[in-house]
Amino acid sequence: MNRPAGSHSSAAPLARIRVVLSHTSHPGNIGAAARAMKTMGLSRLSLVNPRHFPDPQAVARAADADDILEQARLCASLDEALAGAVHVYALSARHRNLGPPALPAREAAADILARAGEGEVALLFGNETAGLSNAEVQRCQRTVFIPANPDYSSLNLASAVQLVCYELRLAAFDGRPPVLTRAVPFASPPAPHEDVERFYLHLERVMVSSGFLDPQRPRRLLAKLRRLFGRAELERDEINILRGLLDAVERSARRGEPAASAENSGPK
């Protein structure tokens, strides 16, 4: 994959961001969160007293993000999970009077990355049912929310992790993260001038032989066709296709003739 210049340095702050899941009740959500992290380039996962972990459901939901689960830190307390972090962000859908000011996820992403330039940063997600307690939120310097439908703002835990990690990835690469494409290149090199001119001669010959063009009264037909194909900026493969089509037309017209003319059998 061809990466843009500076892509490694752009990804460096992501390596200093840890995702902390507190008291997760369903192991499948841990696996799905690990998968969400890996797809966005984050790799550090900490788990505070999960109900079930390790667990086969976590592995199944992680897909190919098993390495994130294998490296996950199991912590007995929130303080242990947050140790060493210079800034902690609480992810919560509830706007509270207590605690730090709330930022929407897109705005928070730039702030999180800036803090990651200074040291370790933690993103704290709460339990699937109860979310984060007030005591947990008050251990953080900021709260972050996902601006969902206010009439139904409840998000699955792994979905919330995915959205926040996505915003971080966009911000880390200024909105243009590197991508990998396995598509076979569709375009071919531009057709050289001499091939284009041979195509025009071939086209004119077929139009005359078919009766479509009267060489005594060409009017502006050839000029308009040149203008048409000129706008297309023909590629080498396209010239080959068009000339193959013209060959087929000529072969069809010659059926039953004893031999092709010298003009038609010559090099194109």
Asked if pLDDT for residue 23 goes beyond 60, the answer is yes
For residue 235, report the phi and psi dihedrals to the nearest 5 degrees.
Answer: -95, 165
Contact (CB, 8 A) for 246 and 239: no
* Residue, of 5 and 95, whose pLDDT is higher: 95
Does residue 266 register a pLDDT over 60? no
pLDDT of residue 253: 87
Rg (CA), the chain: 32
Count the helices and strands in the chain (H runs, E runs).
Answer: 12, 7
Report how far residue 140's alpha carbon sits from residue 149's, in angstroms, rounded to the nearest whole number. 25
- The Cα–Cα gap between 79 and 90 comes to 14
- For residue 179, pLDDT over 80 is answered with no
Q: Per the structure block, which two tokens stand in for 112?
A: 């999180």
Q: Give the tens place of pLDDT for each residue, 190-222.
A: 999 999 999 999 999 999 999 999 999 888 999
pLDDT of residue 3: 42
> Which pLDDT score, from 0 to 100, does residue 111 have?
95
pLDDT at 4 over 50: no
Q: How far is residue 233's CA from residue 118's CA, in Å, rounded to a whole number?
A: 51
Calculate mean pLDDT across residues 133-142.
Answer: 92
Question: 198: closest CA among 166, 139, 243, 263?
Answer: 243
pLDDT for residue 20 is more than 90: yes
Over range 70-79, report the average pLDDT: 97
Average per-residue pLDDT for the chain: 88
Q: In the chain, pLDDT over 70 holds for what percent of residues?
A: 88
The domains located in the chain, with CATH, are 7-172 (3.40.1280.10), 193-265 (1.10.8.590)
Residue pair 58/31 in contact by the 8 Å Cβ criterion: yes
Q: pLDDT at residue 100 above 80? A: no
Give the separation between CA 239 and CA 7, rounded to whole angstroms. Answer: 38
The answer to whether the predicted template modeling score (pTM) of the entire model surpasses 0.75 is no
Determine the pLDDT at residue 262.
37
Instruction: Please state, in angstroms and rounded to a whole number, the distance separating the CA atoms of residues 172 and 132.
Output: 27
pLDDT > 90 fraction of the chain, expressed in percent and rounded: 74
User: How many other CB atoms are found less than 10 A from the CB of residue 144?
Assistant: 25
Looking at per-residue pLDDT, the higher value among 176 and 230 belongs to: 230
Q: What is the pLDDT of residues 160-175, one digit of tens each?
A: 999 999 999 999 998 7
Whether the upstream peptide bond of residue 54 has omega within 30° of 0, thus cis, is yes
Question: pLDDT tier at 177 (50, 70, 90 boundaries)?
Answer: confident
Secondary structure of residue 59 in the 3-state scheme? helix
